[in-house]
Structure 1
Amino acid sequence: MLSSGVLAGSASVQGPQGEVAQFEYSGSMLRINAAQNDGYALLRDGHFYTVGYNNGQPMVFDAGAMLKGFGDMAPQAIHGDLGAEIASLKDTGENEVVAGIQGDVYEVQFIDDSGAQRSESLVLSTDKRAQELRDALFQMMNFAESMTPGQEKAKAQSQDIRARLSSLNAGILRYGSEVTVTEISGEPVAAQRFELPAQPLDLQGLGKLFGQ
């Protein structure tokens, strides 16, 4: 379940090796910027595009078509641990400030495909900015699942964590050492940030090649 109102905002997210990606969202549109280069990905109008530059010239690819070609492999790559089976999600009673927002620390127990369990810590918050980042990422996951047949178990497990977050009315500010929100804003993003700089090329044939 998405929060009421129109999504609007941005967030910077740091990965385990210190790499940073920026997420910008407005309504049903989502832009993901990689800090190390000028390339970015864009979800809009029911399509997922990647944008890069060759000698200063923009190149736009319809990556959603490639996701469809990859079939069963895509959901596993996108969901990661958050798509694994959850044995439990418990509030530890502790608090932690992430990106200037005080959140609640939870312990989540995952069960992998071999049946082994492992635990990780999550920092969740009911702050509206965290909710909107959550909902923007939910839209991305929903799109990926709509483009990839099969993997019903993985999809059900992914839906489980989303349902749990929605029931808590919370978004994730930190997931272990894998994902940490470093900056987050509820300010609207300029409309031109979601425009395509060129006509897209279709990568469906490439996706089918690897998906076979």
Structure 2
Amino acid sequence: MHSILGCNHPTFALPWRTLLPYLVALHLLHLGSAQLNVVAPSLHVTAIVGQDVVLRCHLSPCKDAWSSDIRWIQHRSSGLVHHYQNGIDLEQMEEYKGRTELLRDGLSDGILDLRITAVRSTDSGSYICTVEDGDNYAEAVVDLEVSDPFSQIVHPWKVALAVVITLLVASFVVSIVFLHRKRAAQSRELSESFQAFPPPKSL
């Protein structure tokens, strides 16, 4: 045993053939630890038309994403819903302009959440969250389902039934009003006839 590092740090002088596998293993471990992963919730995100919704996504393991290239892409059209790079929001699809915001408070912790305001029924679908950092790239998919309780399909027979019921109710109300006025008129006539022809006085 002799020192090859100096500074009184003794070590074994291993031949290169023995040392090489260790160096390769260390290199592979380093590559594995530097791998970029994006994680998204497995459940659908649901919202009602007009609400604000947050699409969640984060890096794993946790890593500062301030200097990353982050894109949220509409899967259906492959259009850019939101594009962030080095602290700047870049161009996006016309239909999402003014309606999206990358929540930057979580970027230092690798959180890539995107808020969409006043969601529309056309916003339903899958969104791809992509992150590019140097030579590393990763993505995950988030599904959004937007419902509109006021846009249910109305069947023609339902419309016809509603019209018939409305007409019946209207006819009933008109009949009641007519009978009430008729009775009031009859009472008034009787009262006037009594005043005009009072009954004879008994002897």
Give the TM-score band, short-chain normalised.
under 0.3
Q: Which has the higher contact order (CA 8 A, sep 6+)?
A: 1
Specify which structure has the higher proportion of strand.
1
Q: Which protein shows a greater Rg?
A: 2
